[in-house]
Amino acid sequence: MSRFQFDRKIKIDVAEPARYDGDAPETLGNGDDDQGGEGSFKLRPSDSNVMEDQEPFMGVKVRRKASRIRDYKGDYIDLPSRHYIMKILEKQGDKKVLFADKVLKFTGSGRMKRRILVITDFAIYMVDPETDTLKRRIALAAVDKLCLSKLSDNFLAIIVPTEYDILTASTRKTEIVTVLVEAIKSTSNYELDVVFSNRFEYNAAADFVKEVEFEEVEGGVKTRIVRK
C-alpha cells in the first residue's frame, strides 16, 4: 500500500496549431509569442467537460450542464507508479497528496509546456514529465489568489507575489481551485481569494507582466494573452 494519501473528468478544438514542448493531452491554439508578444486562443466547450460545482464559484462562473455531476478523483496519473515524483515528495517531507494531473503551463515567452501538477497539503509542485525533474515548488502559504474568467475555458492563474505567477490550462481547473482553497483554509485558516474576471494580469516572469483577456464568441471562448 502506498504511504502517500489522497483525500479525494473538456475537449478543446484548435483554432491554430499549438506550440508546445512534448505531447500533451490537452490541445490549444495560439499565435506567435516567443518574444512576449500576444497570443490568441479559441476554445470551444464540449459536453465532456464534467466537473463538480463547488462553493468557490458561488454561481459566478458560467458553467456547462454536465459540470455539476462528477465526484473528484484526486490522482489522475497513478502517482504511486511515478517513482521519481514519489522521491521528490519524500525528499520534501510531503506525504498527503490532494491532487495530481497533467497540465499545460505557459512560459514567459508564450510557449506551452507539458507539466505534472501535484498539490499536497503544504505545497504546489510542477514537474517536467520528459526529464523527470522538479521545475518548481511553491509553498501554499505563498499563494495570494487565483484568477480565472467567468466563461467556460480552461485557464487558471496562480498568483505568487513573492516570486512569479503560473498560468496553466487544465481540463480539471474546477477541482484544482477547490483543492487549493480547501487546503489553504485547513492549514492556515486563510480564505484564499478566487477572482473571476474576463481580464486579469499576471507576472509571467519576475521582470514583466502579461494580460489575459477572454471574450465569448460564437461557438466558444476567445482568449488573448498580451504583454503589458
Exposure string (b/e) for 163-194, b if CB count within 10 Å is 16 or more? ebbbbbbbbbbbbbbbbbbbbbeeeeeeebeb
Q: How confident is the model at residue 141 (pLDDT cuts 50, 70, 90)?
A: very high
pLDDT tens digits for range 103-132 = 999 998 889 999 999 999 999 999 999 999
Q: Is the pLDDT of residue 32 over 50?
A: no
Q: How confident is the model at residue 43 (pLDDT cuts 50, 70, 90)?
A: very low
Identify the residue with better confidence: 58 or 103.
103
Q: Is the pLDDT of residue 56 over 90?
A: no
pLDDT tens digits for range 174-212 = 999 999 999 999 988 889 999 999 999 999 998 899 999
Give the HSE-up count for residue 79: Cα atoms under 13 Å, Cβ half-sphere: 31
CA distance 14 to 29: 5
